[in-house]
């Protein structure tokens, strides 16, 4: 595997995490709802953890990485996303965040399909797994707190 290409992909993935951290931070500063602020701070921390994980990845770690299947509840797949706003509801935020995770899954899946190097494919599979895990967590929150209320 080309080490420069590997590092470029990691830098790209890390920059996406940094964008998510900044986005959640901005939203947490604007919201008037304490519960929503808490969720946004939690999401920000999740993205910081994801960034740290990516910063520690090496090609040797990826080579030994075992891909596992992450269930997809597909809850957010059928929901309409509202643009982020100060008066965003808990439900709107969960949908927004889950949709962002799905976009990342799709991006990394497309890159993985087009990668010819097996180690790069494995790196993209790792990134897909991370995004799917985060989406699953958000959809479980939605299922527990929104669907149960309806």
CATH number, domain with residue 59: 1.20.1260.10
Residue 150: pLDDT band (50, 70, 90) is low
The three-state secondary structure class of 57 is coil
3-state SS, 85-108, equals CCCCCHHHHHHHHHHHHHHHHHHH
Question: For residues 24 and 64, what is the distance between their CA atoms, to the nearest angstrom?
Answer: 33
User: What is the token pair recorded at 59?
Assistant: 């090609």
Q: How many domains does the chain have?
A: 1
Overall average pLDDT of the 98-111 stretch: 92
The model carries a pTM of 0.82
pLDDT for residue 76 is more than 60: yes
What is the extent of the structural domain holding 113?
Answer: 3-147
Residue 85: pLDDT band (50, 70, 90) is confident
């Amino acid at each position: 595997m080309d080490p420069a290409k590997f590092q470029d992909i990691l830098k790209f993935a890390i920059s996406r995490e940094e964008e998510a951290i900044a986005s959640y931070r901005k939203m947490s500063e604007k919201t008037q709802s304490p519960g929503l602020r808490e969720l946004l701070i939690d999401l920000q921390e999740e993205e910081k953890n994801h960034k740290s994980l990516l910063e520690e990845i090496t090609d040797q770690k990826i080579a030994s990485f075992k891909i596992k299947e992450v269930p997809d509840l597909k809850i957010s797949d059928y929901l309409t996303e509202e643009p982020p706003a100060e008066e965003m509801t808990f439900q709107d935020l969960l949908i927004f965040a889950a949709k962002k995770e799905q976009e990342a899954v799709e991006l990394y899946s497309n890159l993985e399909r087009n990668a010819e190097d097996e180690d790069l494919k494995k790196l993209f599979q790792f990134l897909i797994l991370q995004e799917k895990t985060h989406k699953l967590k958000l959809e479980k929150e939605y299922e527990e707190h929104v669907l149960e209320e309806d």
